[in-house]
Structure 1
């Protein structure tokens, strides 16, 4: 038996992963007799440990689930850490990150040492993650279709499980699906991460940038002021390179406080724009921010569309 810790930044994906894991652990057993579940803001970890340390009755093992474990502090975790270090052979313990606070590194390290940590986040390489999910569902798509689906879903990867279930019930397993076959089942295009928008702007692709802006505001549920903050932070980071004569990634990191690829990207973007255009971009953003707050009687989305179009033409 083992201790499992599941983490992830998409609640829907995390919930599905927990359900799948518990289903696997229960197997052919009687769930009502095997599973103890703790959730919400009221339960204490000592109750979880007591359940995990209790011998099974009329079953070969127990499965104990504790959700929202990120809300517990170092003092709360003492009995749980002791249990993880010396677990009962007849219990599977499933710990699910979430809740207020940040997941304890001590807990994560303890589970890594004696159990298994499952990171359910798709990460930035959503295409590879999505291809794995398609394969696990028993479906077939070529790389081009998988890439289209990943782009369409954007940040709404939590919808994938339902889409795959629908596709499997419609087409069955084995047939290689085209995008035309899956398109009727995938719904509205999902939200997109901030870097998709800023990449399109920096590439000068106005049409794409405006489309991504619409997805961020509508499907992604971001308020125009939130998008404005994303754009301000993007150009403010680039502006830190003005006058420092950064020649490589290390110089850029020292000037911006960024590390690795983000520092390299900031330097590339500064070299595209130059100091004068970076300042112009920040001036436009500042004016648009005032317009959003009532300086002009314009619809917020129109203010953002004009801003994004202007920024995408800066070279």
Structure 2
């Protein structure tokens, strides 16, 4: 099942005895665990009712024994297991010997007083494993994948609404443009904006601009936008603003390289008929980042992007060998790129 369905079920009080939570969106995964704990564990019982393990440090035999043991002084308990061995897809192994058959047996008859949750911070599960197949058959698997562009906007609107505030689409879009797609950072900034708006207030795009600083990576997005629009002066001004914030030219250059490379990937994959979601998986970007990158890539030809990447490679060598002072070197690149245009 997906995360939305899982949140809805626990809100309705439908709790499963076993969950396998996987995916790269750790914020949503942690939020799901918190909502689940609110449903099944009294606040005063948390210390006694929550048990934590890691399959890299504890054998599955010990974990199952704990799951089968009746809770002490509390009506039920929750066992949280960090796992990169049993369910994950990859070559990571553990020094601990595990016996998966113990868990398979437990899955067939789980304890009525225990909720066993495996937390797998991987993009995929190993579908070849019997544990994964069994958990899938039991509908115990929950995927926590990055939110799509519209889902991010809805998530921000809902977060503001839950605090008695309103956040319009323009404000949410500006917040995404400034912070990026990391939910931990978005949540912190959204809460700050809601506090500023006051009970019943509205978070506006202007308040976002005034109160939320632009993250470095988002500034690099902006820098490429200025270059694509031939606003060379604006690009240079932004560059020196970043220098005043003590950002290293070599770091900024590396971020530019990554952005131009992603733009080239998006153009190539788009020409092959890939959808934005397929591109996100292929490149390893958030879907929202793919959307913004695709918008920027339309302003550059593939030949121009390839040339800029070649120029940046030469600049990287010149900087690191002392042939050019790094601050001046990157400024000259921005001047040359802006004057050359996108074609």
1:161–1:48: structure 2 CA closer, same or farther, 3 Å change rule?
farther
Residue aligning to 1:21: 36
Task: Return the alpha-carbon distance in structure 2 between the equivalents of residues 148 and 206 of structure 1.
Answer: 20
Task: Return the alpha-carbon distance in structure 2 between the equivalents of residues 199 and 190 of structure 1.
Answer: 14
Task: Return the alpha-carbon distance in structure 2 between the equivalents of residues 194 and 83 of structure 1.
Answer: 51
Question: SS where residue 223 of structure 1 aligns?
Answer: helix
Task: Return the alpha-carbon distance in structure 1 between the equivalents of residues 187 and 266 of structure 2.
Answer: 38
Task: Return the alpha-carbon distance in structure 1 between the equivalents of residues 31 and 250 of structure 2.
Answer: 25
Give TM-score scaled by structure 2 length: 0.64
Residue aligning to 1:244: none
Gaps of 5+ in 2: 1-14, 89-96, 283-289
Question: SS where residue 320 of structure 2 aligns?
Answer: helix
Residue aligning to 1:245: none
Runs of 4+ aligned structure 1 residues displaced above 6 Å come to 207-210, 212-215, 217-222, 263-266
Which of 68, 71, 84 is the matching residue for 1:70? 84
Q: Indicate the RMSD between aligned Cα atoms, in angstroms.
A: 4.7
Deviation of 1:273 after TM superposition, in Å, equals 2.3
Deviation of 1:287 after TM superposition, in Å, equals 1.6
Residue aligning to 2:169: 143
Report whether the alignment pairs 1:89 with 2:136. no
Structure 1 range deviating more: 163-172 or 81-90: 163-172
Task: Return the alpha-carbon distance in structure 2 between the equivalents of residues 66 and 220 of structure 1.
Answer: 40
Deviation of 1:26 after TM superposition, in Å, equals 1.5
Task: Return the alpha-carbon distance in structure 1 between the equivalents of residues 69 and 124 of structure 2.
Answer: 29
Task: Return the alpha-carbon distance in structure 1 between the equivalents of residues 33 and 252 of structure 2.
Answer: 34
Deviation of 1:16 after TM superposition, in Å, equals 4.7
Report whether the alignment pairs 1:280 with 2:280. no
Deviation of 1:184 after TM superposition, in Å, equals 6.6
Mapping for residues 1-315 of structure 1, pairs under 5 Å: 1-2=15-16, 3-9=18-24, 11=26, 14-27=29-42, 30-39=45-54, 41-67=56-82, 69-72=83-86, 76=98, 78=100, 79-98=102-121, 103-105=125-127, 106=129, 110-113=134-137, 114-119=139-144, 121-125=146-150, 126-166=152-192, 173-180=199-206, 186=212, 188-192=213-217, 196=221, 200=225, 203-204=228-229, 206=231, 211=238, 223-224=251-252, 226-227=254-255, 229-231=257-259, 233-234=261-262, 237=265, 252-253=271-272, 259-261=274-276, 262=279, 272-273=300-301, 275=303, 277-278=304-305, 280-299=307-326, 302-308=328-334, 310-311=336-337, 313-315=341-343
Deviation of 1:65 after TM superposition, in Å, equals 0.8
1:282–1:133: structure 2 CA closer, same or farther, 3 Å change rule?
same
1:199–1:44: structure 2 CA closer, same or farther, 3 Å change rule?
farther
Gaps of 5+ in 1: 242-247
Task: Return the alpha-carbon distance in structure 1 between the equivalents of residues 216 and 29 of structure 2.
Answer: 18
Question: SS where residue 150 of structure 1 aligns?
Answer: helix
1:121–1:272: structure 2 CA closer, same or farther, 3 Å change rule?
closer
Task: Return the alpha-carbon distance in structure 2 between the equivalents of residues 154 and 218 of structure 1.
Answer: 20
Please list the CA deviations of residues 149-202 of structure 1 after superposition, one character each: whole Å capped at 9, or x if unmatched. Answer: 22221144312333455555665543333345566764x322447994697378
Q: How many residues align?
A: 296
Asked whether the equivalents of residues 191 and 221 of structure 1 are also in contact (C-alpha less than 8 Å), the reply is: no
Task: Return the alpha-carbon distance in structure 2 between the equivalents of residues 306 and 4 of structure 1.
Answer: 55
1:279–1:62: structure 2 CA closer, same or farther, 3 Å change rule?
closer
